[in-house]
Structure 1
Amino acid sequence: MQLKSVDKAFGAVVIAKGLDLTVQASEGLGIIGPNGAGKSTLFNLITGDQHINGGSITFGGREVSKDKPFKRCRQGIGRSYQIPHPFGKMTVYENILTAAVFGSGKGEAEASPHVIEVLHLTGLAKEANKPAGHLTLLQRKRLELARGLATDPKLLLLDEIAGGLTEHEVQSLIGTIRDIRKTGIALIWIEHIVHALLATVDRLIVLNGGELLADGEPEAVMKSPQVQKIYMGVEPA
């Protein structure tokens, strides 16, 4: 996937300013930045939930900037949302199946084997017949992962999926995301729990004021004086 000179603003609020970003196949990319830096909006631009004001977005060798969200999903862009909103009265299996049918355009019978794979990959197999409204927070987070994976993505976008979890739960989720990465799916993960990113991604970028502040090896990026000042409020020594 490639973003080239992408611009996005809401009035005077700049979300992206000439943003260039490339994500390779199978790459794991982490994104951090202050609140209001435009991280979640960036996901909305990639998925088509919001439109860019300028520049281009290319995925799978073709420009998708004007494609509707469902079309981008079926081309291989999946995502999770920061706050899980499953269909509470439907079972875990039914939630994932709904995503699989929508994302692939396949019928229920044809999509079912993939749903079973996703249930096992995300650690939800034992919860398959439980109504989603009865899940714990960690299980709802796993269901968000599962619904994104059910669309059979080549690129999966994770929006603060570890938020609100205990440290033990975060570690459990890290293990699941590492397993997902072994499948070869490219990953972009926005997260405030930085150690979770450092444990899973290949590369880290920092957004600030609609621009790319830093981009590189995760540990090196976190040691940058500029990043420490803007993101963590630490003055350079």
Structure 2
Amino acid sequence: MTPPLLELRHVCKAFGKVVIADGINLTLNENEGLGIIGPNGAGKSTLFNLITGDLSPNGGDILISGKSVLSQRPHQRCRSGVGRSYQIPHPFGKMSVFENVLTAATFGGAAAMGEAEAMSLEILGVTGLLNDVNTPAGKLTLLKRKRLELARALSTRPRLLLLDEIAGGLTEAEVQALISTIRDIRRSGVSLIWIEHIVHALLATVDRLVVLNGGMFLADGDPHEVMRAPDVQRIYMGVEPA
């Protein structure tokens, strides 16, 4: 039996008395899309940091394709197929868009120069940045910085792509364009975990939705059913269900 692409087993993380993960269990299969929602401060980005190795858990295990990665540093997990975008883009501002993506392909994706150049141009096409290849990253609009963040993550050749509020701050038209891009990426076979407050973007792109609250998953299942759950409406949406 093929193991899950990602598996969290009883993962615990606390900062002093603040519990971020309280024995969390989670699996993600190949070609699956998972959305994560939760109140501000629920620990959603911290969960990504645990998966990528930027933080170490206090207990439990994290497996990629059935193998524990706890001993791997972040760059090793990246080479194992875990790519990530960050909530606040921090590109190399004085480097061009192409140079930013090429750097990620070379060092994160371990691609040889010729392969990295071709792959970078292909990814810039997918993410709608081909007209900006020579633009300094520091001069991009917010939408294009978000797209560059996505392009850099894709250039590491991930099997698992972690997106952290990549739609935040965009107009509705820009969100719709982003949804179209994410759908194209999913069709290419990349598995996805997307943290997002713009719930309709998740509903349009993911197969499952989980709600993180108080260090535990409050709900896990079909996205529309999860959003209708009374506890989710009360805790996440702040309304009493009818």
Give 1:92's aligned residue.
Answer: 97
**For 1:144-223, what aligned pairs fall within 5 Å after superposition?**
144-223=149-228
Aligned-partner Cα distance in 1 for 2:76–2:60: 19
Aligned-partner Cα distance in 2 for 1:66–1:207: 26
Q: Does the CA contact (< 8 Å) of 1:228 and 1:236 recur in 2? A: yes
Give 1:138's aligned residue.
Answer: 143
Which of 15, 24, 29 does residue 29 from structure 2 map onto? Answer: 24
Structure-2-length-normalised TM-score? 0.96
Q: What secondary structure sits across from 1:25 in the alignment? A: coil
Q: Could you tell which deviates more after superposition, 117-126 or 13-22?
A: 117-126
Q: Does the CA contact (< 8 Å) of 2:165 and 2:196 recur in 1? A: yes
Give 1:112's aligned residue.
Answer: 117
CA apart distance, 1:116: 1.4
Q: What secondary structure sits across from 1:84 in the alignment? A: coil
Give 1:9's aligned residue.
Answer: 14
Q: Does the CA contact (< 8 Å) of 2:7 and 2:66 recur in 1? A: no
Q: Does the CA contact (< 8 Å) of 1:2 and 1:59 recur in 2? A: yes
Q: Does the CA contact (< 8 Å) of 2:11 and 2:61 recur in 1? A: yes
Q: What secondary structure sits across from 1:174 in the alignment? A: helix
**Structure 2: segments with no counterpart, 5+ residues:** 1-5
Which of 42, 60, 66 does residue 61 from structure 1 map onto? Answer: 66
Q: Does the CA contact (< 8 Å) of 2:106 and 2:113 recur in 1? A: yes
Aligned-partner Cα distance in 1 for 2:184–2:110: 26
Q: What secondary structure sits across from 2:236 in the alignment? A: helix
Instruction: Give me the CA root mean square deviation.
Output: 0.8
CA apart distance, 1:33: 0.2
Give 1:77's aligned residue.
Answer: 82
Deviation sequence 1:129-171 (CA, Å, 0-9, x none): 1111111110000000000000000000000000011111111
Give 2:229's aligned residue.
Answer: 224
Deviation sequence 1:52-104 (CA, Å, 0-9, x none): 11000000221001210000000100000000011111110000000001112
CA apart distance, 1:194: 0.3
Q: Does the CA contact (< 8 Å) of 2:7 and 2:26 recur in 1? A: yes
Aligned-partner Cα distance in 2 for 1:47–1:13: 21
**Between the two proteins, what is the percent identity of the paired residues?**
68
Q: Does the CA contact (< 8 Å) of 1:51 and 1:66 recur in 2? A: no
Aligned-partner Cα distance in 2 for 1:193–1:110: 36
Which of 55, 63, 67 does residue 50 from structure 1 map onto? Answer: 55
Give 1:236's aligned residue.
Answer: 241
Q: Could you tell which deviates more after superposition, 194-203 or 100-109?
A: 100-109
Task: State whether structure 2 residue 134 is matched by structure 1 residue 129.
Answer: yes
Return the letter of the residue paired with 2:89: P
Paired residues, what number? 237
Q: What secondary structure sits across from 1:232 in the alignment? A: coil
